[in-house]
Amino acid sequence: MGLAKEQPLYKTPTDYEDDVYLWLYEQIELLRQKRIQEVDLPNLIEELGDMGSEKLHALESAYRLLLAHLLKWKYQPQKRSSSWEITIGRERDNIEGRERESRTLTTQAKSIVDRMYRRAVREAAIETGLPRETFPAECPWTLEQLRNEDFLPD
């Protein structure tokens, strides 16, 4: 090994607990340089697992917000607003981007919608003041409708 490889990449490497953002970029640089033995592998594995969970959570959140706003749109038409329409469009864009990044999450979309629908009903009921029984027990829209940028329920 050459002398450069024997010296640490960073004089004082960032501690995972102190600054996870900087720590992550230091780990990336170590990997780019193929200095695998210096990588903080246990924490990197944990961080990668968290990233996967965050991607799922972000997609769930986008579907939940979309569903809640579509329910409000349908069941409280007198209060429709451009703000609701903007949220519907933004969440569809978020869903499209996240599903484009992950075919696995795309194939899980139906089960994600099924899980998030109950939460969306709870939120829509609170926001509209309507009883939960007002809303269908299961999501009334197909994935195609949910993803269709022009679809709004009557």
pLDDT recorded at residue 8: 66
pLDDT recorded at residue 131: 98
Backbone phi and psi for residue 151, each to the nearest 5 degrees, phi listed first:
-80, 125
My answer on whether 58 and 25 are in the same domain is: no
Inter-axis angle of helices 82-101 and 41-75, to 10 degrees?
140
Mean local confidence (pLDDT), 36-52: 92
pLDDT per residue as tens digits for the range 72-120: 999 999 999 999 999 999 999 999 999 999 999 999 999 999 999 999 9
Residue 43 lies in a domain: no
Full residue range of the structural domain in which residue 90 is found: 53-147
* Reported pTM: 0.83
Lookup: tokens for 81 = 């607003």
Residues with Cβ within 8 Å of 67's Cβ and at least 6 positions away in sequence, in order, are 113, 116, 117, 120, 121, 124, 139, 146
My answer on whether 73 and 113 are in the same domain is: yes
Mean pLDDT for all residues in the chain: 92
pLDDT per residue as tens digits for the range 31-40: 999 999 999 9
CA 1, 45, 114: angle at the middle one, nearest 5?
Answer: 155
Residue 97 corresponds to which amino acid? G
Categorize the per-residue pLDDT at 6 as very low, low, confident or very high, splitting at 50, 70 and 90: low
Q: Is 91 exposed, middle or buried (0-12, 13-18, 19+ CB in 10 A)?
A: buried
Pick from 42, 47, 57, 45: nearest CA to 19? 47
Residues, the chain, total?
Answer: 154
My answer on whether 97 and 126 are in the same domain is: yes
Cα 51 to Cα 60: distance, rounded to the nearest angstrom: 14
Mean local confidence (pLDDT), 146-152: 97
Residue 100 lies in a domain: yes
Residue 25 lies in a domain: yes
Residue 87 lies in a domain: yes
